Amino acid sequence: MKATHLILFLLVILVGFSCIDLFEFEMQEPERTLTVEGYITTQKKVHIIRVAFATGYGSRFLGPSSGIGGAKVFINDEEGRIELLSDQGSGIYHTSSEFAAEIGKAYSLNIELRDGNRYVSTPELVTPVPPIDSLTYQSTRIATSNILNDEIGVQVMAHFQDPRDQQNFYYWPLLESDFVIISEPELYRLPPIHPTNPRGAAPKACCSRCFHKETPSPFSVNTISDVDFNGLYQRRVIAYVRDNGIRFKEAYRLDLLHLSISDGAHRFLSLIDQQLRLRGTVFDPPPANIRGNMVSLSNPEEQVLGYFFAADELKLRVYIQKSKLEFVLSPPTTVPDDCRDYLNPDGRNSDPRAGMNPPLLPIEPPFDWNPPN
Amino acid sequence: MLLLACEEEGPGDFSLFTEEIVNVRGDRLIVLGRIVAFQNTSLDDHGFYVSLSNEFNSPIIISLGPTNRPGRFVGETTGLALGQKYYVRSFVSKNAETLFGNTLEFETLETALFDFTPKTQFPGETITITGRNFGETVEVFVGDRKADVLSLDFGFRIRVRIPPSAGKSEETLKIITSGKTLEFDQPFKYVSGTYRQLNAVIPGFRLVDNVYFQQGDRFFVGLGMNADRTPSNFLWEYIPTENRWIEENFPGETQRLSGNSKTGYFGGGYSDLTNFPFELNQDYWFFNGETFQSIPSSPYDFAESFGYMVRGDFYIAGGKVGVGSVVYRYRPSLDTWEIRPNLPFLVDKSMVYFSKDDFLYWVDQDKQVRQYNVFTATQKIVAEYPSPFIDEVSDFGGTAIVVGEKAYIGLYNNARDLWELDLITFEWARKNPFPGNIQATNTAIFESEGKLFILRTPRFQADMEFWEFEIEGFN
């Protein structure tokens, strides 16, 4: 009986070994994907196009997204006019400062890489954007998962007439904006590593009011189609700036653009916005592969990321004043230092080896700072 | 089994679309097509038919070869005739059967010229011509002389070297490409302008900080001081027929660095020559063609200011006394001064300035030519001075004068450049460089019958120089 068991045991082991097959697994390495970012507008200025390789996730690190230099990049319109862009390095290409798109014309972006691969965008038609009658703003409170702290912010609303006779697509990108930063230099304390008086009170006489510049946050893609309100007068939220306790202590000058874009550009931007809003919950839409409008002439199967579009542009500006807000974040964030040192408190953000010193914030307003009374 | 046996693959299990004309540039077409199917379909060929007729007679066939994958495909062809209407449709071939997608139409554009810059150039230098649909071979002619084509970019931009002149300052600019001859309406101009030094001298005087003005063909210059810091409380008038300067009496006191309209109104400035702070002389004058008339003094002290005329009124602005943007206007009809809106920037006499119609123009330290409407108090940048400025070396001391719709600007300190600015298009045209001594300051500038007359005070010479510049002169 024991011998039988032993034989059976050996047989089982042998059978088991003989069943193992080596599974050859070749993981698909992600390829570098061409990415095109940029748009042109009807304002005469330098328009910027960025051409880069995006890096995919993979088992190996393929390096950061790198700009592609030495490409020939130009924009042509339907009448055969061509604007050749100048290579600024790092994949950045500039139009001349005199270049502007024209309403009613369609524009294509053309890219020829040094390896001979050529890409072209589908034509993008510029349609007129209706003027904005006025901009207003209001405080807003958003419940968060933290029951003790709601999110406070400011919504900016545009009042305008949507044209009845055409389908419109709007896009409102936020620009770098200026605001007054209020600090409390009288509350300054010495740094904890101070040799004789760590954290000792050392009030500063100056300065409590400076001017700072930032790109408003949170980042979002504000775009909409008039399919639900064609021809109706609009009072529409076009921007939202979160109150972080510092932005709205006095005045915040929000700069943004009012753009008319194409159906394709709107669809692309909407999908980008949708993907950016994924929070990992069961209610999220599935992650999607968003197709742009660049076509590879060398290999039509090649996926090119990004979307080139042309838009009519109006620049918008609104001064958000604390005195006119119903409420702000309370208590506000205290900045116990000279406001000029806001970017570099106690020199903590300096890097002497690299010779990097964050600049002092100015106490003088920008030359065109002109808040309403 | 029965169900499976009924499945049959046929050419109808996909859809074919001619999706979009992506690009039509010159003789080149890029077009998109799409095969829509739920599964791979083996096709012998796919691509596009392009034809001048919608029946697709004698088509150009863009064959992209066999494929078995649905999705987008792109076709490209060259060699299309310019200025023609074309039709394009996608196709696929399967089992000797050819299926077509929808038809799109497009039009190729004729070759055209847009512009060339600069409009004025020296022989041997380059100009850039822009247009559309230039062929692979391009010939450029200035008059009847062939120019070297240095580059042709993307069929829209040609850089050419200008051939030697044939003794004419204006020539037609002609391009021959793809068997067609195109010509710009606007002529190309060789750089023109001839200088001649006149022998009319103001004996023993090297005038600086002076005023000057012109009334008809009468040129006046004076006041200010001699470069050796002796006063000059008199003026000279140039007599063209005799080619000499004669002295004019002036009833007032020494006055230097005054606001000067260049038409006969002037005033303000300093009275003394040496002691700092300088003593002000706030007398104002008008020369009526025969005598100097005293006019009321401005309520505000001015020195080293702009002086200019707009619609018969004398304006004085800025300067180095008080606020450098204050503006006052003297109205001869009312014999009164009134304050006007401040200029948007600080200005003083070290900047080149001139007035024309309702506008004051000046060239600031950043080379921007600013146009200021004296009635609406609005300003804008209309041009940029083309020559370089070197800090404290060649960014001051220039001069300007308006002749018709053109302004002549230049002769900055240590510089020979003189430019013509078109006051309608705000395009610059280079004039021949000044051949004389550039270690000199501009004392006065006048114009008459297509000529400029420039009085200059050299730094290291005994006498001033008087130059005649024929604007359209050509050697």
Would you list the domain boundaries of chain A? Answer: 33-125, 132-289+313-347
Would you write out chain B's pLDDT as a tens digit for each of its 475 residues?
Answer: 444 444 444 455 889 999 999 888 878 899 999 999 888 888 999 999 999 999 998 899 999 999 888 888 999 998 888 889 999 999 999 888 999 999 999 999 889 999 999 999 999 999 999 999 888 889 999 999 999 999 998 888 999 999 999 988 899 999 998 888 999 999 999 999 999 999 888 888 899 999 999 998 899 999 998 888 888 888 999 988 888 899 888 998 888 899 999 999 999 999 877 767 788 889 999 999 889 999 999 999 999 999 999 999 999 999 998 889 999 999 999 999 999 999 999 999 999 999 999 999 999 989 999 999 999 999 999 999 999 888 777 788 999 999 999 999 999 999 999 999 999 999 999 999 999 999 999 999 999 999 999 999 998 888 899 999 999 998 7
Whether pTM exceeds 0.90: no
Q: Do A79 and B109 touch (CB under 8 A)?
A: yes
Cβ contact B154–A84 (<8 Å): yes
Q: Hey, is the C-beta of A123 within 8 angstroms of any chain B C-beta?
A: yes
| Statement: B194-470 belongs to CATH 2.120.10.80 | yes
Is the CB of residue A319 less than 8 Å away from at least one CB of chain B?
no
Domain A33-125 has CATH 1.10.3470: no
Question: Contact at 8 Å (CB) between A119 and A132?
Answer: no
Q: ipTM of this model? A: 0.73
Token output for A133: 């009658």
Q: What is the pLDDT of residue B230?
A: 83
A110 shares contact with chain B (CB less than 8 Å): yes
- Nearest residue to A245 (alpha-carbon basis) of A354, A355, A332, A167: A332
Phi-psi region of A76 (alpha: psi -120 to 50; beta: other; left: phi over 0): beta
Closest to B365 measured CA to CA, from B379, B353, B354: B353
Tokens of B121: 């150039």
From chain B, pick out residues whose CB is under 8 angstroms from the CB of A79: 109, 132
User: In chain B, which residue's Cα lies nearest the Cα of A111?
Assistant: B154
Partners of A300 on chain B (C-beta within 8 Å) are 71-74
Pairing of β B352-356 and β A118-121: unpaired
CB atoms within 10 A of CB B96: 6
Q: Quick check: B374 and B315 in contact, CB under 8 A?
A: yes
Distance from CA of B379 to the nearest CA of A (A): 15
Residues β-bridged to residue A240: A155
Count of C-beta atoms within a 10 Å radius of residue B20: 18
Q: Indicate yes or no: CB of B22 within 8 angstroms of CB of A82.
A: no
Residue ranges per structural domain of chain B: 2-107, 112-189, 194-470
Contacts of A108 in chain B (CB under 8 A): 22-23
Fold: same for B112-189 and B194-470: no
Backbone angles phi, psi at B136, to 5 degrees: -70, -30
Helix (H, G, I), strand (E, B) or coil at A341: helix
The upper half-sphere exposure of residue B448, i.e. CA atoms within 13 Å in the direction of its Cβ, equals 17
CATH fold group of domain B112-189: Immunoglobulin-like (2.60.40)
Look up residue B307 and give its amino acid: G
Which residue in chain B has the smallest CA separation from A293?
B22
Q: What is the pLDDT of residues A246-304, one digit of tens each?
A: 999 999 999 999 999 999 999 999 999 988 888 888 888 887 788 899 999 888 778 89
Task: Calculate the CA B268 to chain-centre distance.
Answer: 34
Where would I find the H helices in chain A?
A: 2-18, 263-276
A-chain residue closest to B131, CA distance: A81
Give the pLDDT of residue B9: 44
Give the length of chain B: 475
Fold of B2-107: Immunoglobulin-like (2.60.40)
Compute the distance between CA of residue B111 and CA of residue B176 in angstroms, rounded to an integer: 10
Residues of B in contact with A74 (CB under 8 A): 154
CB contacts of B383 in chain A (<8 Å) are: none
Q: What are phi and psi of B26, to 5 degrees?
A: 60, -130
- Which amino acid, residue A361? L
For residue B22, give how far its alpha carbon lies from the nearest alpha carbon of chain A (Å).
5
Region A65-75 average pLDDT = 90
With vertex at residue A240, the alpha carbon angle to CA A237 and CA A241, rounded to the nearest 5 degrees, is 155
The string of pLDDT tens digits covering residues A338-361 is 999 999 998 888 888 888 889 999
Peptide bond preceding A191: is omega within 30 degrees of 0, i.e. cis? no
- Shortest Cα distance, chain B CAs vs residue A370, angstroms: 15
Task: Test B132 with A297 for CB contact under 8 angstroms.
Answer: no
> Which of B49, B51, B53, B73 is CA-nearest to residue B62?
B49
Q: A300 — contact with chain B (CB < 8 Å)? A: yes
Spatial CB neighbours of B439, under 8 Å, sequence gap ≥ 6: B414, B458, B459, B460
Strand residue runs (E) in A166-232? 169-171, 177-182, 209-214, 223-225
Asked whether A78 and A123 are in contact (CB, 8 A), the reply is yes
**Residues in A touching B67 (Cβ below 8 Å):** none
pLDDT, tens only, A98-114: 999 999 999 999 999 99
Q: Two tokens at A81?
A: 């006019």
Mutate to test the interface with B, among A122, A125, A291, A302 (most CBs of B within 10 A): A122
Which chain B residue is nearest to residue A295, measuring alpha carbons? B74
Within 8 A of A125 by CB-CB distance, chain B residues are: none
Nearby residues of B249 by Cβ (< 8 Å), 6 or more positions away? B234
CA-to-CA distance for B145 and B120, rounded, in angstroms? 16
**CB within 8 Å of B11: residues ≥ 6 apart:** B94, B95, B97, B99
How far is the C-alpha of B76 from the C-alpha of B24, rounded, in Å?
10
A74 interface with B at CB cutoff 8 Å = yes
**Contact between B25 and A74 using a beta-carbon 8 Å cutoff:** no
At position B328, the amino acid (one-letter code) is Y
* A109: closest chain B residue by CA: B23
pLDDT at B10: 47
